[in-house]
C-alpha cells in the first residue's frame, strides 16, 4: 500500500512537472508567416478611393486571391461596377504587346483619367526590346557631324545601340471595346521635379543654387525641359546673401563625396505660394551655430564616407533662428515678417487643404491658407508651453497675434481651418484637458466652443459652410468601447446636433469626398476581417464595397489575437492591449511572456485594426511565446491630456510600472503564462524602454532585445526630448534666457543588469544616432556585464533589407534565454527557405 501511494505521488509529480514544461521553439511556424509568405496569403485590406473631379465618383483597386479588380463607384447613383472587363483587358494587352496575359494576372496599372473623365490612360512595359530613342539621336548626330571623317563614320556605324524594353502608352474609353495606342514613347524623365518649384500659374520656377534663390521664366524652363544642355537657357539669381546652413533651400543630407560632387547643382527651395502666384512665402532658418553630428557609411562606396549634418540636442543653449520672408514675384523684392528672432521658437505656415480629387494630379503646388493677402502662421516657444496663432499682411509683413494657448506641459496643435469668406476660423486645442474645436472670428474673438466633453477630437474631416456642419474624427465618445477606436462625427458649429456617422464596435479609417456628401469607411478590429463601405454624411450606408479575403491566411492555421483590458499600476486607469499566442498551443505547457513596447508619447504600438504586418507580434508568438502589446499612462494622445502627459518630466521610467503590473494581471488570469519568464523588446523608443525595463525591474524582466534605442536622450534630437520630457526656460536678472534640461538615461543604471540584453543599431542611423547605444554598451562593459551587441552595417533607423535578419536575431535571443534552446548553426535555414540556391 505504501509503495502504491509512493508511485501515485511520483506519477502526480511527473504530471505536474510536465504541465509546467516550456515549449520548444518552433522556427518553422514563424518562417511560415514571413513578410514574403504573408504577401501571398493576404492582399488588400482597405479601399483607397481616388476621387474624381466631376461628380461624387471615385475609382479603386482591390486585390484578392483571385487577382486585382478595378472599380468605379458613383455615390450619387449608388452604383459600383468594374472599370473594365479583366478578360477583355488581358486579351487586348496580349494582342498589342505580344506578351501573354490573363484575367488574374494583369500588370499593375497606374491610371490617369483624361480631362473629360470618360477614359483612362496608362502605360505597360513589354518584354520586347527596342533601341533607346536618345541613342538613335546621338548616332544620327554623330554621323552628320563626321561625314568627312570616314573613320568616325565607321565607328558610329559599328557602335552597338543601347536597348530598352518597349513601353506602350494606352487609352481605354470607359464602356468601350478596345484599347487605343497613344504612343510607344517611354515616359520622359523629370529630374527637374526634384528641384523646380513651379508657381500655381506655371509662369515662373524657383530653385536654389549655392544656397541662393534663383528663378527661371516659363519660356526658359520649357527650353530646359526640352534640352538640359541648352546653353541659351537664361537663369536669374535673386538673392546673394545665402550661405550654407543659412540659405534659400538647397540643404540635404549627403556624404562628403556626394556633397562635393553636387555642390553646384540646382536644388529645391520649398515654401508656400499665394493663390495668384504673385507671392512666395519662405522660412529661412539659421543653423550655422548648431553643432554637427556624423554617421559613417562603411559599406556604400570604395572608401568609407562621412555624412555630416546639423543636429540640435536637448539642453543646448543654441537654437535654430527662423525668419519668415515674403517674396514678391513681379518686383523681385521681399519683405520680412517682423518676428522676434532672439527668442527661441519655431514657426509653421498654415497651408490651404488639398482637395481629395487632386491627389492623383502631377502638379500640386503648396498654397497659403488665405486667398486674400494674408499669411496665417503659428509660433511655439522652445519649451512648447506658449503657442500663438498669428496673421501677417502679405505686402508689408506686419503681423498680429489672434489666438494664444498657454499650458504647463507641452502644447499640441492641428491645422487652422479658415472659412465663410475668411471671416471665421476653427481652432483645435486641448485647453480643458480634452482636444476640441473652437470657433473664432477672423479677429481672434472666441464665438463658442464647438465640441465639448470627456472625449478626444482627433482631426478635421470636412466642413459644409452652407449648413454650418463640421465633420471630424474622435475617440472615446462611446464609453462602452475601447477609447482608441476612432469614429467619424458631425456637429453643428453652434455645438448642437452631434451625431456618429459610422457606429459599431470597430475602429475606422475614413476618406471624405470634396463635396462633404460621402465618405469611404474602412473598419475592423484586430480580431475581425476588415470591411469597407460607402456612407453618406447623414450616416446612412450607401454601398458595401469590400471584405478582406482572409481565406488563404485562415487555411494556414492563423488565429486572431485577443484584445484585453486591465488596470494600470495605480489600480484605476484602464489599460488596453492585445494578446498574441501560438496558433498551435499545447495545453500541457506554460509559455514565456514577451512584451512588445513603444512608449510614445506620440503614439502607442497597439494594433486596433486587423493588420497582416505581423513581424513583431503574431510571428514572434509562433516561436513559442505569448506576446502582448499594451498601452501605458503617458503613452497616447488619443485619450485625455492627463493620460497623454503623464510621463512629462520622467521620460525614462513613466511607463514601466504599468508594463510590469499588466503582465502580472494577465498571468493571474491565464495559467498558460509563465510569469517567471518575461521578456521585452522594442525599436527606437521601444528600444529605449525595453532596456530601461531590464534595469529598473531587473528581477522581473529576464531578457530584452533593444533595437535602435535612444538610450541617452541627451544625444537625441531636442524636439522629441524637450517636448515630451520638458525643458525649463529661465530668465536671469539681466533678462537673459537660458534653457535647463535634465533627464535620466539608461546607462546610469548599467550596474543593475541581471538578465540577458541584446542591443542592435544601424551604423547609418541619422535619426537616433548610434552614439546612444554605444554609450549604453560602454557602461555595461565598465560594469563587467555580459550582453550582446549587433551593428547593422549601412542601415538607417529602420533596418531596411536587414529587417528579416533582425527578426531572427530576436528569435534566437529569446529562444536561448526563455525557451532554453540555442540556435548554433551558422546558416539560418529558415531565412533561406524562400531563396533558391545558386547552382
For 82-108, what is each residue's pLDDT tens digit?
A: 999 999 999 999 999 999 999 999 999
Looking at the domain that runs over 196-267+269-409, which CATH code has it been given? 2.140.10.30
CA 212/CA 661 separation, integer angstroms: 57
**Distance of alpha carbon 627 from alpha carbon 579, whole angstroms:** 6
818 CB contacts (<8 Å, ≥6 apart)? 22, 592, 594, 625, 677, 679, 702, 703
Flag the least confident range among 191-200, 269-278, 320-329, 577-586: 191-200
CA atoms within 13 A on the CB side of 483: 20
Is the CB of residue 62 less than 8 Å from the CB of residue 68?
yes
Of the candidates 695, 707, 714, the residue with the CA atom closest to the CA atom of residue 789: 707
Kindly report the pTM of this predicted structure.
0.92
The pLDDT, as a whole number, for residue 8 is 47
Distance from C-alpha of 585 to C-alpha of 626, rounded to nearest angstrom: 10
Q: Contact, 489 vs 471, CB < 8 A?
A: yes
* DSSP 8-state secondary structure symbol assigned to residue 8: H
Residues in contact with 504: Cβ distance below 8 Å, sequence separation at least 6, in sequence order: 523
Checking if the pLDDT of 733 tops 90, the result is no
The pairing of strands 673-683 and 701-707 is: parallel
**Residue 342: C-alpha distances to residues 323, 456, 518 (Å):** 11, 36, 48
Q: Report in angstroms the alpha-carbon separations of 415 from 418, 429, 455, 833.
A: 10, 11, 19, 48
Closest to 719 measured CA to CA, from 315, 178, 125: 315
Domain positions in the chain:
21-41+553-711+748-832, 50-191, 196-267+269-409
| Lowest-confidence segment of 252-266, 567-581, 810-824 by average pLDDT | 252-266
Distance CA 32, CA 28 (A): 6
| 542 and 530 Cβ atoms separated by less than 8 Å | no
Confidence at 645, pLDDT banded by 50, 70, 90: very high
What is the rounded distance in angstroms from the CA atom of residue 515 to the CA atom of residue 75?
11
Least Cα distance to 20 among 592, 581, 580 occurs for: 592
Q: What number is the average pLDDT over the span 511-532?
A: 97
Q: 21-41+553-711+748-832 in CATH: which number?
A: 3.40.50.1820
Q: Would you state the pLDDT for residue 285?
A: 94
Query: Could you report the per-residue pLDDT of 122-155, keeping only the tens digit for each?
Result: 999 999 999 887 655 555 555 545 555 555 555 5
Question: Using CA atoms, how far apart are residues 522 and 528, in angstroms rounded to an integer?
Answer: 12
**Tell me: the pLDDT tens digits for 207-217?**
999 999 999 99
Please give the grid coordinates belonging to residue 1. 500500500
> Which residues, other chains included, contact 43 with Cβ-Cβ below 8 Å and sequence gap of 6+?
63, 64, 65, 548, 549
Q: Which residue has the cell 488596470?
A: 567
pLDDT for residue 839 is more than 80: no
Give the model confidence (pLDDT) of 56-77 as tens digits: 999 999 999 999 999 999 999 9
DSSP characters over 791-822: EETT--SS-GGGHHHHHHHHHHHHIIIIIS--
When the pLDDT of each residue in the chain is averaged and rounded to a whole number, the result is: 92
Amino acid at each position: 500500500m505504501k509503495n502504491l501511494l509512493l508511485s501515485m505521488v511520483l506519477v502526480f509529480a511527473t504530471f505536474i512537472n510536465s504541465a509546467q514544461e516550456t515549449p520548444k521553439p518552433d522556427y518553422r511556424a514563424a518562417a511560415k508567416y514571413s513578410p514574403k509568405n504573408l504577401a501571398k496569403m493576404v492582399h488588400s485590406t482597405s479601399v483607397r478611393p481616388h476621387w474624381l473631379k466631376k461628380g461624387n465618383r471615385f475609382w479603386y483597386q482591390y486585390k484578392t486571391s483571385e487577382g486585382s479588380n478595378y472599380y468605379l463607384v458613383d455615390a450619387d447613383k449608388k452604383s459600383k461596377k468594374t472599370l473594365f472587363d479583366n478578360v477583355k483587358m488581358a486579351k487586348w494587352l496580349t494582342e498589342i504587346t505580344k506578351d501573354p496575359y490573363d484575367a488574374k494576372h494583369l500588370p499593375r496599372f497606374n491610371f490617369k483619367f483624361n480631362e473629360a473623365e470618360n477614359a483612362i490612360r496608362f502605360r505597360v512595359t513589354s518584354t520586347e526590346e527596342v533601341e533607346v530613342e536618345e541613342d538613335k539621336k546621338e548616332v544620327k548626330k554623330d554621323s552628320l557631324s563626321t561625314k568627312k571623317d570616314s573613320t568616325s563614320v565607321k565607328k558610329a556605324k559599328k557602335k552597338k545601340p543601347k536597348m530598352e524594353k518597349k513601353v506602350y502608352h494606352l487609352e481605354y474609353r470607359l464602356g468601350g471595346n478596345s484599347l487605343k495606342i497613344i504612343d510607344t514613347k517611354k515616359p520622359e524623365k523629370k529630374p527637374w521635379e526634384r528641384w523646380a518649384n513651379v508657381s500655381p500659374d506655371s509662369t515662373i520656377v524657383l530653385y536654389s543654387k549655392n544656397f541662393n534663390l534663383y528663378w527661371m521664366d516659363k519660356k526658359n524652363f520649357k527650353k530646359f525641359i526640352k534640352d538640359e544642355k541648352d546653353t541659351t537657357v537664361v537663369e536669374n539669381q535673386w538673392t546673394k546673401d545665402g550661405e550654407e546652413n543659412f540659405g534659400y533651400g538647397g540643404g540635404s543630407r549627403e556624404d562628403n563625396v556626394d556633397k562635393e560632387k553636387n555642390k553646384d547643382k540646382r536644388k529645391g527651395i520649398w515654401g508656400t505660394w499665394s493663390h495668384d502666384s504673385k507671392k512666395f512665402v519662405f522660412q529661412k532658418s539659421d543653423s550655422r551655430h548648431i553643432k554637427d553630428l556624423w554617421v559613417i557609411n562603411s559599406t556604400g562606396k570604395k572608401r568609407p564616407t562621412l555624412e555630416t549634418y546639423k543636429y540640435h540636442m536637448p539642453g543646448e543653449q543654441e537654437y535654430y533662428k527662423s525668419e519668415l520672408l515674403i517674396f514678391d514675384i513681379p518686383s523681385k523684392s521681399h519683405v520680412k515678417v517682423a518676428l522676434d528672432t532672439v527668442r527661441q521658437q519655431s514657426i509653421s505656415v498654415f497651408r490651404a487643404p488639398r482637395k481629395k480629387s487632386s491627389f492623383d494630379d502631377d502638379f500640386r503646388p503648396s498654397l497659403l491658407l488665405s486667398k486674400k493677402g494674408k499669411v496665417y502662421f503659428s509660433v511655439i516657444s522652445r519649451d512648447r508651453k506658449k503657442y500663438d496663432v498669428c496673421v501677417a499682411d502679405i505686402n508689408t509683413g506686419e503681423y498680429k497675434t489672434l489666438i494664444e494657448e498657454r499650458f504647463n506641459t507641452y502644447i499640441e496643435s492641428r491645422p487652422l481651418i479658415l472659412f465663410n469668406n475668411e471671416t471665421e476660423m476653427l481652432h483645435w486645442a486641448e485647453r480643458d484637458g480634452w482636444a476640441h474645436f473652437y470657433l473664432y472670428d477672423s479677429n481672434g474673438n472666441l464665438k463658442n466652443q464647438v465640441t465639448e466633453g470627456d472625449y478626444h477630437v482627433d482631426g478635421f474631416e470636412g466642413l459644409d459652410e452652407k449648413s454650418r456642419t463640421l465633420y471630424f474624427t474622435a475617440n472615446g465618445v462611446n464609453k462602452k468601447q475601447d477609447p482608441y477606436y476612432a469614429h467619424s462625427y458631425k456637429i453643428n458649429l453652434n455645438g448642437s446636433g452631434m451625431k456618429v456617422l459610422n457606429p459599431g464596435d470597430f475602429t475606422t479609417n475614413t476618406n471624405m469626398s470634396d463635396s462633404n456628401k460621402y465618405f469611404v469607411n474602412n473598419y475592423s478590429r484586430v480580431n475581425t476581417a476588415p470591411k469597407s463601405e460607402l456612407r453618406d454624411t447623414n450616416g446612412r450606408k450607401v454601398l458595401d464595397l469590400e471584405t478582406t479575403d482572409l481565406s488563404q491566411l485562415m487555411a494556414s492555421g492563423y488565429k486572431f489575437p485577443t484584445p484585453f483590458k486591465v488596470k494600470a499600476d495605480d489600480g484605476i486607469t484602464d489599460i488596453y492591449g492585445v494578446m498574441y499566442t501560438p496558433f498551435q498551443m499545447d495545453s500541457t505547457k506554460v509559455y514565456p511572456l514577451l512584451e512588445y513596447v513603444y512608449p510614445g508619447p506620440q503614439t502607442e504600438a497597439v494594433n486596433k485594426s486587423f493588420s497582416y504586418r505581423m513581424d513583431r507580434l503574431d510571428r514572434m508568438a509562433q516561436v513559442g511565446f505569448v506576446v502582448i502589446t499594451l498601452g501605458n499612462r503617458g503613452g497616447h494622445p488619443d485619450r485625455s491630456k492627463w493620460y497623454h502627459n503623464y510621463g512629462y518630466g520622467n521620460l525614462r521610467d513613466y511607463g514601466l510600472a504599468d508594463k510590469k503590473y499588466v503582465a502580472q494581471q494577465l498571468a493571474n488570469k491565464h495559467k498558460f503564462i509563465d510569469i517567471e519568464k518575461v521578456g521585452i523588446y522594442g525599436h527606437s523608443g521601444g528600444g529605449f524602454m525595453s532596456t530601461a525595463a531590464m534595469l529598473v525591474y531587473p528581477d522581473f524582466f529576464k531578457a530584452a532585445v533593444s533595437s535602435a534605442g535612444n538610450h541617452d536622450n541627451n544625444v537625441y534630437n531636442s524636439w522629441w526630448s524637450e517636448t515630451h520630457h520638458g525643458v525649463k526656460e529661465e530668465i536671469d536678472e539681466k533678462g537673459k534666457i537660458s534653457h535647463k534640461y535634465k533627464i535620466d538615461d539608461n546607462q546610469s543604471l548599467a550596474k543593475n543588469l541581471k538578465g540577458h540584453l541584446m542591443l542592435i543599431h544601424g551604423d547609418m542611423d541619422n535619426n537616433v544616432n548610434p552614439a546612444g547605444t554605444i554609450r549604453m554598451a560602454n557602461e555595461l562593459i565598465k560594469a563587467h556585464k555580459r550582453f550582446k551587441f549587433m551593428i547593422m552595417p549601412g542601415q538607417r533607423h529602420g533596418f531596411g533589407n536587414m529587417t528579416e535578419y533582425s527578426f531572427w536575431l530576436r528569435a534566437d535571443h529569446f529562444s536561448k534565454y526563455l525557451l532554453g534552446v540555442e540556435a548554433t548553426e551558422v546558416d539560418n535555414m529558415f531565412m533561406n527557405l524562400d531563396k533558391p540556391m545558386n547552382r
